[in-house]
Amino acid sequence: MRSGIIPVMLMFVFASSLWAQTADTVMTGTLDEVVVSGSYKKMEVLNTVQQVEVVEEPFLREHFTGNLTQTLGHIPGVHSMDIGAGFSKPMIRGMGFNRISVVQNGIKQEGQQWGADHGLEIDAFSVGRVTVRKGPSSLLYGSDAMGGTIEIERLPAPIDDQWLGEVNLLGKSVNNTLGASLMLGLKRKAWFTTLRYSEQHFGDYHIPTDTVVYLTQRLPIEKQSLKNTAGFERDANWDLDYRKGRYYGNLSVSDAYQKVGFFAGAHGIPDAEILHDDGDSRNIDLPYSWVNHLKVTSHHQYGFGRLFGYLDLGFQNNHREEWSYFHTHYGTQIPPEKDPNKELQFSLNTYSASLKVKRFCSNNWEYTVGLDLQYQKNTIDGYSFLLPEYDRFTSGVLWLSKWKASDKLSLSGGLRYDYGHLDISAFKDVYLEQYLTDQHYGADVLEDYEWRSYAVERDFGDVSGSIGCVWNPTKSQLVKVNVGRSFRLPGANELASNGMHHGTFRHEQGDASLSTEKGWQMDLSYTYVHKGICFIFSPFGSWFNNYIYLKPTGEWSILPHTGQIYRYSQAEVTFIGAEAEFSVDFLRYLNYKIAGEYVHSRNREEQLPLPFSPPASMRNTLTWKAKKFKVFAQWQAVMAQDEVSRNEETTPGHNLWNMGASANVPLFKTKVELTLSAQNLLNEKYYNHLSFYRKMEIPEPGRNFQLLIKVPFKSSIK
């Protein structure tokens, strides 16, 4: 029954080739070059069978925090997995890590997505528009997009020739953030270029408690300030556009650098002695991490009559290091002579290429064929070990078809085949081998433990596809249905790791026999918009027969400080849930909006929820809006998360009150944009179930006041 959809997809794809019409009509493909920003959101929603959220400058400004992932966490179904107040990674409908793809300038952002303590290296000031695709996106982006995608764009070029720019200033009270961003741009005939530099500095952040309890040990939090959580971020971005006739090209270069301290105990056994206040809330002491992400991308597109070609090329280097005082769990290991406190280093190089050709046969039919290629090489260093060195090559071919049956109904479908090759290097820990030998363990035990990663060389191949429809029964209603099959290739850590993961204090072991993760997903969406009333309801469901997860084996590890062995395994898993929104305009200037979300995950073999399942939540927002001013008050209710995986803490529910105001103030020949907001007004002590620090009973930041100032400027060129 489940496999029956593949023949249906095939029939749709091939039938579309036979039934295509060739009437001479105006092609919708040219809309990419002339569409105005105000209609982009509506066009994107109508052109895809998936449930999508398009957020632009007003939303990004109102919820701006200096951290893009936390900003997107205000979208129903999207969550932020936080690592203190510095790093964050996105989650969509309960899926995160390597199951979510972040796409910028047509290229997938590639870093260390697999780890809970690794964030997203993107300058939040440079983002002009974000499209969130909820649900399976393997058809568009291949592996690592089975849970959804986040597509990031900058604002389009202005129409007139001009100099332009903006200055942004950011301040936050909870960790004494000071941030600034400067953008300069020039639009001259066919050319448009922008240069942006951003910098943020923040200190240790405040939490509404004097103590935290970890493994029954009570740890002091002096001055309610979480020591060694300070950090800074520096970002530089340069973009160059050229548009002539039917050709458009873009070259983009960005470099993001972040350095953030880890609360003592997050990478080791907590010790109250090192938590005493040192009198400096901005210093970054050991342990800490820093990451630099260099990205160069190039986009080209050209129209040949009814045919359009798109080419994307990209190179990325993600370099991450974690530093901590040298420590060993067995006395045979000695400090390295060079950089003795460098615990871990990852350097990931990624080369990407994507070619797509779109054919408009008429106003009713369009087809897209594409080819994606990617090569990755990861190298490691440091006195500890976590992720092996590996080479990874993936390629994919796709076919998409869209048929507009009438002004009210359109059908879409497609198929994609991906091939992947993964070559993982073995790593033998000679210090561990000596330790086990001294403990008089036999050769069989040494064979099981001394190899910190196994040599694995595997080939993978799989098919993804989807079919769906968009139906407008009336002008005020929109219905979407989408059924899809998606997949994900196993990661290097899931196939070959074998040893202690310091971030989780447990022995994690890969399984070289893991197969491609496959799933079937169905999304529904109903939207009603009429005379100031908007209602959206989006239920979804997913089924995986071989979902990859860490399974406690019951086998006790002989490695010190690790407990039992957790092995990457596969099981039948289901996700069900929904998002709902309702908003109404009333009394001319007022708007009330309520938005809620719920996701339920279940490991069918163990009858347990999956770890990191977000709790149900609801936001109530009342907004007063005039021409130049806007004020809002918000009550956010987060339910308790009692549905947890084995050895995962339950998290109590909480209520947060937030407020904000924005204004456009005329100044000389421009309008200064001011945004003042207050989060957690009542300074409530609460926990984020998805936080990296949750296992240490560390609550979320306390009351925070934030001010964002934006000063745009421009001058015409004659």
DSSP 384-443: S--S--EEEEEEEEEEEEEEE-SSSEEEEEEEEEEEEEEEE--EE-HHHHHHHHHTT--H
Predicted pLDDT at 212: 84
Count of CA atoms in the C-beta half-sphere (13 A) of 598: 10
In whole angstroms, what separates CA 18 from the centre of its chain? 40
Q: Is residue 321's pLDDT more than 90?
A: yes
Q: Between residues 450 and 415, which one has the greater pLDDT?
A: 415
Q: Which residues of 558-578 are buried (b: 16+ CB within 10 A; e: fewer)?
A: ebeebeebbbbbbbebbbbbb
Q: What is the distance between the alpha carbons of residues 407 and 471, in angstroms, rounded to a whole number?
A: 9
User: How far from each other are the two terminal CA atoms of the chain, in whole angstroms?
Assistant: 66
d(CA 510, CA 234): 36
Token couple for 695: 């296992």
Q: Above 60 in pLDDT, residue 27?
A: no
pLDDT value at residue 270 = 61
What 8-state DSSP symbol labels residue 20? -
Helix (H, G, I), strand (E, B) or coil at 224: helix
Q: Write the burial class of residue 668 (CB in 10 Å: 0-12 exposed, 13-18 middle, 19+ buried).
A: exposed
* Rounded CA separation 204/275 (Å): 12
Rounded Cα gap, residues 496 and 419, in angstroms: 20
Domains (range + CATH), the chain: 2-716 (2.40.170.20)
Beta bridge partners of 594: 582, 620
- Produce one character per residue of 422-456: b if its CB has 16 or more CB atoms within 10 Å, e if not: bbbbebebebbbebbeeeebeeeeeeebbbbbbeb
Confidence of residue 38 (pLDDT cuts 50, 70, 90): very low
Q: What is the pLDDT of residue 714?
A: 93
pLDDT at 75: 94
Asked whether residue 232 carries a pLDDT value surpassing 80, the answer given is yes
- Do residues 44 and 38 touch, judged by C-beta distance below 8 A? no
Provide the whole-model pTM.
Answer: 0.90
User: What is residue 476's predicted lDDT score, i.e. its pLDDT?
Assistant: 94
pLDDT exceeds cutoff 90 at 255? yes
Q: Which of 708, 148, 47 is nearest to 404 (CA)?
A: 47
pLDDT of 331 above 80: no
Over residues 558-592, the pLDDT tens digits come to 887 777 888 999 999 999 999 999 999 999 899 99
Q: Is the pLDDT of residue 449 over 90?
A: no
Share of the chain above pLDDT 90, in %: 62
- Count of residues in the chain: 718
Helix (H), strand (E) at residue 19: helix 5-19
* 598-618: burial string, b at 16+ Cβ within 10 Å, e else: bbbbbbeebebbbbbbbbbbb
Which of 82-86, 165-169, 385-389 is modeled with the greatest confidence?
165-169
> Would you state the pLDDT for residue 503?
62
pLDDT of residue 118: 72
According to the model, what pLDDT value does residue 10 have?
A: 42
Mean residue pLDDT of the chain comes to 88
More confident residue, 273 or 420: 420
Mean pLDDT of the region 422-442: 90
Q: What is the pLDDT of residues 347-374, one digit of tens each?
A: 999 999 999 999 988 778 999 999 999 9
Least confident window among 23-27, 73-77, 522-526: 23-27
Residue 487 token pair: 């997949």
**For position 119, what pLDDT does the model report?**
76
Residues 6+ positions from 598 with CB-CB distance below 8 Å: 577, 578, 579, 616
- The residue with greater pLDDT, 236 or 343, is 236
Cα Dmax for the chain: 84
CA distances to 23, 30, 131, 647 from 303, in Å: 18, 9, 24, 56
pLDDT score recorded for residue 268: 60
Q: Is 659 helix (H, G, I), strand (E, B) or coil?
A: strand
Q: What is the DSSP string of 482-514?
A: EEEEEEEPPPHHHHHBEEEETTTTEEEE--TTP
Cα–Cα distance measured from residue 683 to residue 703, given in angstroms and rounded to the nearest whole number: 5
Average pLDDT for 156-170: 94
More confident residue, 321 or 562: 321
Amino acid at 127: V
Q: Which of 15-19, 44-48, 469-473 has the highest mean pLDDT?
A: 469-473
Is pLDDT above 80 for 529?
yes
C-beta separation of 700 from 207 below 8 A: yes
| pLDDT score at 29 | 39
In tens, the pLDDT along 681-715 reads 999 999 999 887 887 788 999 999 999 999 999 99
- Scan for tokens 């160059």, then name that residue: 240
In this predicted structure, the answer to whether residue 322 has a pLDDT above a threshold of 50 is yes
Q: Given CA atoms 58, 61, 67, 70 in this order, what sign does their dihedral have?
A: negative
22-36, 136-150, 274-288, 629-643: which range is least confident on average? Answer: 22-36
DSSP for 542-591 reads: EEEEEEEEEEEEEEEP-STT--EEEEEEEEEEEEEEEEEEEEEEETTTEE
DSSP-derived 3-state class of residue 237: strand
User: Is the separation of the CB atoms in 155 and 125 below 8 Å?
Assistant: no
pLDDT tops 80 at residue 3: no
For residue range 301-319, what is the model confidence (pLDDT) as tens digits? 999 888 999 999 999 999 9
Q: What tens digit of pLDDT does each residue of 636-665 get?
A: 999 999 999 887 889 999 999 999 999 999
pLDDT reading at 450 higher than 70: yes
